[in-house]
Amino acid sequence: MILCIGCREKPPLPPQLDELTFDTSYVQIFPSFGGFTEPEDVAIGNDQLLYVADTKANRVVMLNRAGQILSAKNMLQPLSIAQDSRLDLLVGGLIIATNGDTVGAIFRIHLVSSSSDSAHRLDVARIDTVWRELARPARRFPSITIFGDNTYLAVRTGPENVSFIDPDDRVLQFDRNDNFITPVPALTSRNGSGITDISSPTGIASFPGVRDFVLCQHNENSPNYGALWLRYESTPDFEGWLPRFDPSEPGENSDFVRLGRSLYQRPEAVAIDPARRDVFIADAGRDSVFKFNNRGVFKSESFGSAKSGGVMRKPTGLAFFERVLYVLDGETGHINRFRLTTDIPR
């Protein structure tokens, strides 16, 4: 039995998955929401609206949950999007520098306005550039996650990772006022087999009420783990992130670590179910969404192109809200919605 393989030829999934059975599954909710051009990210904000980084269309789009476009803002190739509790949007995208270089940057879009004419309208909202990589223009920001206190982490990636001091592949910490704090020190930028080694990171999502997060990264032809789960610890002796599952510890055999190298090809996005704290990871290389519960157990509800009727071709973004999983497809330009059969109202 092959679990999550798509209709196109892909390397087989790990043999350990053959033992799984399917007692529940995800079914599609119709219609899907289309009209996007190679989009990279989707988010559901604290305002309960959908936001899409419509990358090749050079715009950020706001939709209601019925799929109706409410407003849009022109931006150069937006890659990532998230919303804080002040209803500001943080967007990873590009700017053109005065010397003509295309430069990675982070933007803040202010949706709250005292004027009824501009409140919650992307097209007229004020936008600030809060971070730019002028010295290293090839750097990009493919994912952002925001904590409850409005501090946030921005995933940065790029081609130059030889420097031990300032490699391109980092996860940057910012305070609630967009001041840079430091890269996450627990993560090491290298193409290695350690549980905290990162190379070509692509997606990040945090858990509500805590500072724990899951990071995914491309690991095709690489010894890296495709996904890393870090928990935040604060004691009199230590404050910072540590691996939630550490293979160096005796007896550690969670699916999340055990399948961490063999399961993935090109993970692109992470989403968290805030109620159950399940973790979803979208893999564009396998046309699949993989699911783990809050104890790191692989769930049989994971699915791919075959089980989605062929609608899932290249999942690049994920969001989860009120038991509905939103899967953004970068190839078809659609948002496809799925719900567990056990969660469908009877």
CATH number of 15-343: 2.120.10.30
Which of 124, 113, 115, 47 lies closest to 81, judged by CA?
A: 47
pLDDT tens profile 177-199: 999 999 999 999 999 999 999 99
Give the mean model confidence (pLDDT) for residues 307-315.
Answer: 89
pLDDT band at 13 (very low <50, low <70, confident <90, very high): low
224 phi, psi to nearest 5 deg: -65, 155
pLDDT tens profile 199-244: 999 999 999 999 999 999 999 888 999 999 999 999 999 999 999 9
pLDDT at 19 over 50: no
Write down the pTM of the prediction.
Answer: 0.93
Is 148 in contact with 176 (CB distance < 8 Å)?
A: no
Cα–Cα distance list, 72 to 12, 36, 171 (Å): 41, 12, 28
**Beta strand pairing call for 180-183 and 170-174:** antiparallel
pLDDT tens profile 269-282: 999 999 999 999 99
Domain ranges in the chain are: 15-343
Q: In what order do the strands lie in the sheet with 126-132?
A: 76-83, 89-96, 102-110, 126-132
pLDDT at 18 over 70: no
